[in-house]
Amino acid sequence: MTDTLDVTACVIGAGPVGATLATTLAAAGIPTAVVDRAPLPPMELPEFDGRAYAIALTSRRLLEAAGIWAHLPMAPQPIRHIRVRDGRPGRRPSSLGLDFDAAGIAQGEPFGWMVEARALRVALNARLHSLPNLHAFAPATAAIRRDADGAQIAIAGGPLIRARLVIGAEGRESPLRAAAGIPVTRWDYGQTGMVGAFAHERPHRGTALEMFLPNGPFAQLPLAGPGGFGTAELPHASAYVWSERTPLARRFLAMDDAAFGHELARRLGGHLGRIRPIGRRWSYPLAALWAQRFTDQRLALVGDAAHGIHPIAGQGLNLGFRDVAALAEEVIAAVHAGEDPGSALVLARYQARARPDAMLMLAATHALERLFGTDLAPVRLARRLGIAAVDQMPTLKKAFAQRAMGITREQSGLLGGQRL
């Protein structure tokens, strides 16, 4: 006989967004299951692979409430300063720039923290296995059926899971979204995003750099250190997120470390001294994605299954965490009120919260990519003057910075620091 497991919610996809949602619900006392086709990466700390996440202040609050932040095996790097410049590869950037300092923005809190991907995975795994009412199945294949009364998730070689709600957190090519017949709109930017890290000679002092270049933005993001990344001459490290026209990106990715490092340095400038690429290089096509609705019968979509944005503002994962907070709060409130947490009413409340926020961020990143992705001289001059003008407007600067941190007016709940 097949064993049966009854839970309130079953999350499909154990990536950072799905695992955080499952952990948040379970930490609130809600029976939860999480299923992923791939095995969970091992608990052992692997070698640095070049990937890191920029975690906004409000996202940190969510991770703290879920008990994940405390399990990070190494201290993350605070981002205390952000420099924004417009330029061209190999040339000195415009002197008309925009500089942010975290002091005075949110009680002196950093703009965010750089967390290595391996560290976040270790913390997620530790928390997934520490909660008694959270059941993880990975690797596992599942057949999912939804109807008005609930959902059934049949694990191959495992139990039959009965849930009130199924959550699709499988990424941009979500099978659950496709099975629900939810239409998707896509925009191809004709760019490839390259992600990795490099060791450097001079300390970054917690400063991030956003360079707007003709073929796409280039970001340098500080990593914790020094030590363990390079040599005695290159003891510090930063991550890069480099958007480039796809034909050029392919050429760069085929280069050896020395040539690739030279191209990095041309975009970075000399403020960090000598540099050398470390870890792996990662790349992916850049496109925006928008699901026409975030819900279906007994189904909610979160993260990249619901929306995908250009990395120009570094907000993709943080936007997924905002979905997590919105859905978790609605499910928790429904359970406490004796409501059905998978009902159409609860799902409508989730969509009403998450959809406008995601649309605003998608529109903003799309507009930024269009504005800063042209090299026409009049447009280039106008945007440089605009950047310089914003730098002289403290109120507007603060509003931009708070938005990047995820802070909104009258913020409450998990993103506002509320505990479960």
Query: What stretches of 133-250 adopt beta strand conformation (E)?
Result: 134-137, 142-147, 150-155, 160-168, 184-200, 207-213, 216-222, 236-245
Q: What is the CB neighbour count within 10 angstroms for residue 286?
A: 23
One digit per residue, the tens of pLDDT, for the chain of length 420 reads 469 999 999 999 999 999 999 999 999 999 999 999 988 877 566 677 788 999 999 999 999 999 999 999 989 999 999 988 887 788 777 667 788 888 877 677 898 999 999 999 999 999 999 999 999 999 999 999 999 999 999 999 999 999 999 999 999 999 999 999 999 999 999 999 999 999 999 999 999 999 888 888 999 999 997 766 667 789 999 999 999 999 999 999 999 999 999 999 999 989 999 999 998 999 999 999 999 999 999 999 999 999 999 988 778 899 999 999 999 999 999 999 999 999 999 999 999 999 999 998 888 888 777 766 666 666 666 666 666 666 666 776 676 667 666 777 667 799 988 888
Angle, CA of 216, 112 and 420, to the nearest 5°: 130
- Find, among 295, 11, 22, the residue nearest to 142 by Cα: 11
The separation between CA 365 and the C-alpha centre of its own chain, rounded to angstroms, equals 14
Q: Whole-angstrom Cα distance, residue 420 to residue 29?
A: 9
Strand pairing report for 236-245 and 81-86: unpaired
φ, ψ of residue 7 to 5 degrees: the values are -135, 165
Q: Which helix (H) or strand (E) holds 284?
A: strand 275-291
Token pair, residue 251, equals 């050429």
Angle, CA of 55, 59 and 64, to the nearest 5°: 110
Beta-carbon-side half-sphere exposure of residue 369 (alpha carbons within 13 Å): 24
Distances (CA, A) of 264 to 168, 187, 364: 37, 27, 27
For residue 300, what are the contacts with CB-CB under 8 A and spacing of at least 6?
165, 166, 167, 168, 294, 327, 347, 350
Instruction: Give the pLDDT confidence score for residue 101 in this predicted structure.
Output: 87
Q: In terms of C-beta density within 10 A (0-12 exposed, 13-18 middle, 19 or more buried), how is residue 126 classed?
A: middle
Instruction: Give the pLDDT confidence score for residue 1 in this predicted structure.
Output: 45
Instruction: Give the pLDDT confidence score for residue 180 in this predicted structure.
Output: 98
Say if pTM beats, i.e. exceeds, 0.85. yes
Strand pairing report for 275-291 and 295-296: unpaired
- The residue count of the chain comes to 420
What architecture does CATH give domain 4-186+289-416? 3-Layer(bba) Sandwich (3.50)
